[in-house]
Amino acid sequence: MSPASGSRRILLVSYHFGEDGATGGFRWSGLVELLGRKGWEFDVICAPTGGPPPDADPRTPAGGPLQVFPVPGASRVGAGLRSLEGLPRRIRGATGHARPGPGDAGAAGDAKGAGDAKADGEAAQATARAVDPASVSVWHPGHRPPLHSRIMREIEACAEALEIRAWVEEAARLGEGLMARRDYRAIVVSSPPHGTQMAGLRLSRGAGAPPLLADLRDPWVLGLGRFAGILPAVTRALGRRQEERMIAGADVLIHNTDRHRVAVAAEMGRGRRPAQWVIRNGYDGDEAPGVPDPEVFRMVFAGWLHPFMDVRAFLRGAGALVRRHGLSPDACRVQFVGTGEEFGGVSLLELAGAFGLEGYTELLPRVSREAALSIQARASVLVAFDCLHPLCIPMKFFDYATMRGHLLLIGNRDGAMADAAARLDNPVCPVDDEGAVDQVLEGALDAWRSGRSRAVNDPRGLFRRSVQADLLHQRLEEMP
């Protein structure tokens, strides 16, 4: 069908949606719910989430405000390449060197926390084995991981590209069937994986197709500049080609921050230039459950430590705080939740021990998002590291906005996280500014000892997802 300008139904293609745990999943789950209250309806094409299959039938007219259509997709070649991902680890295991390197395939993906390996679920504790903090491998522009790591990263990137291509074919075929029977105000494609944007191009190809909105709130390649080197070469090459095609075909690009909008606009070229909207991420609800633990001073980081996140800045500050105040392990804990056993080629627990945190540091297993938020809400210090490029805001920042613990934000003072933190009157500490880190930790300890109650970090609700939903609603209403 040709689009009707009065239609309030949107075709959303979002690989992540619902309860799959990815940022893109709950980003659009929240927006769909909020926009639904304003009369918008959605058909969602996504990857299976593991829940019961929906009863929506794409062969029928729209049957409700929200219908979800899971698309599995598969690639035999991609699956074959995936089987090679653990090869370097198996080889090193056979030769007595089982520890994964910093760039091993899968290291930055769905890895288990150290506690997962324990039958009783107890946290792993820091040890006193000697580790030289200077030996830690932290990614920076120009950094080159070991050859075997680079090879396996490229294999993983090829596997992902093939898997996404197969998924895009199935998703586009389903979308074409839906568009033949239903009227849509717009097509929205949310990434990552960024290759899924190709489904939107295919769906918007026909005459009279509705406007195509490309949600790029996770930056792709444009705008990354010298930081693009963190991506495998296969991902960079495919990304540049696909991103150019997407920009040429999209009607609107959606960005997370003004910095990203400006950076992409500067590299967009002289061809067709789509409109650019800034719709930030946000948090749902008003306040996370729980308050900082009055009995134990907790410093918490939850999630994966990516290769560019220099955790040494935090561990140094925490160790110095413990020594200055003579804090005991019973009164002070450093907790990593679902973080994994290693960082930069060394044991994370041994690295913590090198900073004097033996007996203070524990690795907790991966848990559900709700459980992780509860653990973080009990912290007196909430730790976040900036994205490697200064264009977007880590999702942790929005989660922390609903909590009462002090924010230890380590990153770029001239970046998007710093822009957002300034609205909450919170500093960002450069990774090499020991004094700034110490000041945040001292303030948090002083508040904990005094028993003073703190308001949530975003008392004015500046970063509520509902605020961004209102802005998106207005933009959609203004579309021709």
pLDDT of residue 302: 95
Q: Write the pLDDT tens digit of every residue in 368-395.
A: 888 999 999 999 999 999 987 888 899 8
Q: Is residue 121 part of a domain?
A: no
Nearest to 60 by CA among 175, 182, 171, 172: 182
Q: For all residues of the chain together, what is the average pLDDT?
A: 84
Tally of CB atoms within 10 A around 76: 9
Query: Do the domain assignments include residue 94?
Result: no
Assigned token pair, 105: 């395939």
Domain identity same for 177 and 248? yes
Q: What is the spatial distance between Cα 93 and Cα 109, in angstroms, rounded to a whole number?
A: 20
Domain co-membership, 201 together with 306: no
Pairing of strands 275-278, 66-70: unpaired
Q: Which domain holds residue 263?
A: 9-75+156-283+465-478
Give the confidence band of 76 by pLDDT, cuts at 50, 70, 90.
low
Which residues 6+ apart lie within 8 Å of 244 measured at CB?
Answer: 269
CA distances from 261 to 223, 278, 390 (A): 9, 7, 12
Per the domain annotation, does 142 fall within a domain? no
Q: Which class for 170: exposed (0-12), middle (13-18), buried (19 or more C-beta within 10 A)?
A: middle
- Does the residue 82 lie in any domain? no
Tens digits of residue pLDDT in 231-279 = 899 999 999 999 989 988 999 999 999 999 998 898 887 777 899 999 9
In a domain? residue 179:
yes
Vertex 192 angle, CA 186 and 195, to 5°: 80
pLDDT value of position 189: 95
Full-model pTM: 0.84
327 and 361 share one domain = yes
Answer yes or no: do 273 and 310 share one domain.
Answer: no
Residue 60 lies in a domain: yes
Helix (H, G, I), strand (E, B) or coil at 133: helix
Whether residues 200 and 323 fall in one domain: no
pLDDT at 402 over 50: yes
pLDDT at 401: 95
User: Residues 272, 332: one domain?
Assistant: no
Please state which of the ranges 29-43, 49-63, 314-328 shows the lowest mean pLDDT. 49-63
- How many domains does the chain contain in total? 2
Is 255 in the same domain as 328? no
CATH code where residue 243 lies: 3.40.50.2000
For residues 231 and 323, membership in a common domain is answered with no
- Asked if residue 211 belongs to a domain, the reply is yes
* 330 and 422 both lie in a single domain: yes
Residues 248 and 325 in one domain: no
Q: Does one domain contain both 403 and 264?
A: no
Whether residue 459 is contained in a domain is answered as: no
Task: Please tell me whether residues 239 and 382 are part of one structural domain.
Answer: no
Q: Yes or no: say if 58 and 81 are a contact pair by the CB < 8 Å rule.
A: no
